[in-house]
Amino acid sequence: MKTVQRKQLQELWQQRVNNWQQSGLSQTEWCKQHQLNIHQLSYWKRKLSQQPESKIIPLAVVTQKPDKLPTTLVIHINNIQVEATPEQAAILIHALQANS
């Protein structure tokens, strides 16, 4: 199956899963009304829920006094702390942008 066809099929089933969830019906009843196999709905519901979601994480910017520039950048994300030199931070930011 071509990538375009796979993407279209995935989008179709994402729409179907969303429609089922918004309907308030059981999977069985919704599938009967739409003449779909309940096993296909269950499969796609599971498959689509396993995909990584893009998440935006807000960052707090703390400014330093102008008379003292930091030699290390410290980033706190949830329970993770990342420390990097300005050069390392630039490489990290560039890599993150390339992967988004």
For residue 34, the SS3 value is: coil
Residues 98, 82 share a domain: yes
Residues 41, 75 share a domain: no
For residue 10, the SS3 value is: helix
Q: Name which residue leads in pLDDT, 17 or 85.
A: 17
Give the pair of three-digit tokens for residue 29.
């009843």
Give the pair of three-digit tokens for residue 50.
């396993």
The pTM (predicted TM-score) of the whole model is: 0.50
The pLDDT tens digits for 53-99 are: 556 666 666 666 656 666 787 777 777 787 888 778 778 777 777 76
Residues 76, 92 share a domain: yes
Residues 82, 65 share a domain: yes
The residue length of the chain stands at 100
Write out the residue range of the structural domain in which residue 28 sits: 3-49
d(CA 4, CA 77): 36
